[in-house]
Amino acid sequence: MTFKEQIQQGIPSELPLKKEYDLNINHAPKRKEILSAEEKKLALKNALRYFDKKHHETLLPEFAEELEKYGRIYMYRFRPDYKMQARDIKEYPGRSKQAKSIMLMIQNNLDYAVAQHPHELITYGGNGAVFQNWAQYLLTMQYLSQMTDEQTLTMYSGHPMGLFPSSKNAPRVVVTNGMMIPNYSQPDDWEKFNALGVTQYGQMTAGSYMYIGPQGIVHGTTITVLNGFRKINKSPKGNLFVTAGLGGMSGAQPKAGNIAGCITVCAEVNEKAVHTRHSQNWVDEVFSDLEELVTRVNKAKESNETVSIAYLGNVVDVWEKFDEANVHVDLGSDQTSLHNPWAGGYYPVGISFEEANVMMAEQPELFKEKVQETLRRHAAAINKHTAKGTYFFDYGNAFLLEASRAGAEVMAENPSIGREFKYPSYVQDIMGPMCFDYGFGPFRWVCASGKPEDLAKTDKIACKVLEEIKQNSPEEIQQQMADNIQWIQGAQENKLVVGSQARILYADAEGRMKIAKAFNKAIKKGKIGPVVLGRDHHDVSGTDSPYRETSNIYDGSRFTADMAIHNVIGDSFRGATWVSIHNGGGVGWGEVINGGFGMLLDGSKKASKRLKSMLFWDVNNGIARRSWARNDEAIFAIKRAMEVEKSLKVTLPNMVDDTLLNNV
């Protein structure tokens, strides 16, 4: 069968041969035992309902074995034989170009070069899934190949509920992931209901088909590190940034450190992850001996080097050793997957990676105890460094939250609303006031032709647009404009593409609209092929996350999720090709609500109209909310937006003199 025929057939009527478990692939850890005997039967019934009854007798023992061995039913037998990668949009079967663009993005999320655990359909973060099983993938791709521009596919946590009549102006796909009743949104609830096959953790851009490999987080981390050094009035050159994690998202940190120009030490316990990043040239050097690491770092400091170093081992050992050896750390953070602390997101110190994985599955309570002991040690070591002048920030991975739950010394001596912890979230001190409040966030695009030359052309178009905008930009945003022009000018030489031909930069509404409009004109003229627009959920408007994206909202509303819900609803009727809303992405199940979108530009007048309507809303929704929280930068930005767009009328806050409240 051809590739197109395989897509069109969906779930095959005859069973494919059973596939061997490939030990060369980076697999998801075994999930803990959480289902009762009756619930296991229900999980099996739920899995078998995808298949003709004549196959149930064959598949039942196979699925039961998967559930027992891995804690989930992935349906490995049904994994396609064709290469999983984003193809030229023309290679996909179908009646809707918009649907074809979504197929392209789904396959990119599952590309072996992109996905963390591709056979388990997990893109990043240890549990950020595109689908729960391979039957869902096959059925979804089939539906997309059948879809017209007057139908919408509804996705319930990886399950394609079906194609429904809609209109040409409606989204082609609406995605929800993990949308639990609030009282059933704890970590063990995810374990249970995911094992039953009724929900999934979509992370952010994994379950919304908008992940572009680690490039996205490389850019965000570069901006964060640059601004982090600015905050402490130091040049990155010859100065040290210490962090942890080399997985799907965190693997970007050493590359970002190199672009920023500092010395980066990044610890990782998973040897496969370390060697993957080293082989991809995302990290320069690898050490497993602490004495040798200290010697190498001191040499880099003396020589004012820019170098990224991976330490194969636990980051707690690094922090403790650097304290003992008086290695000064300028910037410190952590990007292990602490949104998922009990299932492979964070590993205890003093135990091998392999031993920890066994303990995680077979002795989950002991594993939890060891993780919390490690968090206490981790925080204690960081406290010693910050006493010597290190600037430490939480990089939105729930480090401070989980450390506080473990009883670590991370709470502020004089807490205030929104400032409970001893150390700030990076959004509070860096990205919030410097970027998000002004409307700057992670705008991205994918060249649907798959041609590197198209990406090079879009880079030039975007750079030209930004340079033109910068000439008339107010002083308040000149630095943001300059950083992104520098980024896009160096994008090609930094070889950031993994998977699809994609790019990201931080842009405000004006930048996004003008870049998108220029792309659409170039497509119309035949200079480039179609382009898919998107963004990270980690943006100005997309996410309500009290310990990350909205951690610098101090009016008490940071625990509300109105903004993310309005974001997705508003995007859906303003022209998005697809929209998504998720529970838990980035910082953990039950801790956040976040939304995303995708939009196909095809050179048409309709696309031009949609991009203006949707992109303006997608950014200014968040600026309006941030301005109502009395954030000065956001008040500046929303007033500027109202001057540009006369039909925009936003409620502005009246400031209260704090002295009036002193006697209350």
Every domain of the chain and the residues it spans: 3-196, 214-410, 432-659
Instruction: Answer yes or no: is pLDDT of 416 > 90.
Output: no
SS3 of residue 630 by DSSP: coil
Q: Quick one: pLDDT at residue 491? A: 80
| Alpha helix ranges (H) inside 547-598 | 562-574
Mean pLDDT score, 296-300: 98
Q: Which of 274, 250, 255 is nearest to 345 (CA)?
A: 250
Token representation of residue 523: 């497509």
Mean pLDDT of 49-78: 97
Q: Which residues line the annotated binding site for NAD(+)?
A: 125-126, 203, 268, 395, 586
pLDDT at position 664: 84
223: CB partners within 8 A, 6+ apart = 431, 435, 483, 487, 506
Rounded average pLDDT over 141-168: 98
Residue 64 has pLDDT above 90, yes or no: yes
Is the confidence at residue 464, as pLDDT, over 90?
yes
Predicted confidence at residue 126, as pLDDT, reads 83
Structure tokens at 260: 């920023």
Q: At 581, phi and psi to the nearest 5?
A: -135, 130
CATH of domain 214-410: 3.40.50.10730
The mean of the pLDDT values for the chain is 94
Residue 248 has a pLDDT of 65
Q: Output DSSP code: residue 583.
A: E
Tally of CA atoms within 13 A in the half-sphere of 106 that contains its CB: 26
The residues, ordered by sequence, that sit 6+ positions from 32 with a Cβ below 8 Å of its Cβ are 71, 191, 342, 343, 360, 361, 364
Instruction: Tell me the per-residue pLDDT of 81-127, one tens digit each, with 9 for 90 and over.
Output: 999 999 999 999 999 999 999 999 999 999 998 999 999 999 988 88
Name the residue among 367, 232, 222, 394 with its Cα closest to residue 308. 222
- The tokens for 103 are 């197929």
Span 392-408, mean pLDDT?
93
At 487, the pLDDT band (50, 70, 90 cuts) reads: confident
**Is residue 259 predicted with pLDDT exceeding 80?**
yes
Q: What is the pLDDT of residues 643-659, one digit of tens each?
A: 999 999 999 999 999 89
Does the structure show a pLDDT above 90 at 286? yes
The whole-number pLDDT of residue 489 equals 84
Top pLDDT among 80 and 584 is at 80
Q: What is residue 262's predicted lDDT score, i.e. its pLDDT? A: 97
Question: What is the CATH number assigned to the segment(s) 432-659?
Answer: 3.40.1770.10
Element spanning 411, H or E: strand 411-416
**Residue 249, pLDDT score:** 64
Rounded CA separation 440/443 (Å): 9
One CATH from 3.30.830.10, 3.30.450.40, 3.40.30.10, 3.40.1770.10 for 3-196: 3.40.1770.10
The answer to whether residues 124 and 116 touch, using CB atoms and an 8 Å cutoff, is: yes
Does residue 274 carry a pLDDT above 90?
Answer: yes
At residue 214 the predicted structure's pLDDT band, cuts being 50, 70 and 90, is: confident
pLDDT of residue 219: 87
Beta carbons of 416 and 453 less than 8 angstroms apart: no
Listing DSSP states for 128-142 in one string gives EES-SSHHHHHHHHH
In the prediction, which pLDDT does 220 show?
Answer: 86
User: What per-residue confidence (pLDDT) applies to 398?
Assistant: 85
Q: In the structure encoding, which two tokens stand for residue 58, read together?
A: 């064959």
Say if residues 502 and 452 touch (Cβ distance below 8 Å): no
Cβ burial, residue 1 (10 Å; 0-12/13-18/19+): exposed
Q: Identify the pLDDT of residue 515.
A: 97
- Decide if pLDDT at 241 tops 80: yes
pLDDT of residue 462: 95
Query: pLDDT over 90 for what percent of the chain?
Result: 83
CB 422 within 8 A of CB 408: no
- For residues 17-42, average pLDDT: 93
Q: Which residue's structure tokens are 């966030």?
A: 441
Q: What is the DSSP letter of 655?
A: P
Asked, colleague to colleague, whether 214-410 and 432-659 share their fold, the answer is no
Could you please report the per-residue DSSP string of 558-612? GG--HHHHHHHHHHHHHT-SEEEEEESTTT-TTS-EEEEEEEEE-S-HHHHHHHH
Q: What is the pLDDT of residue 215?
A: 83
Annotated binding site: 125-126, 203, 268, 395, 586
Q: Stretch 353-366: mean pLDDT, rounded? A: 94
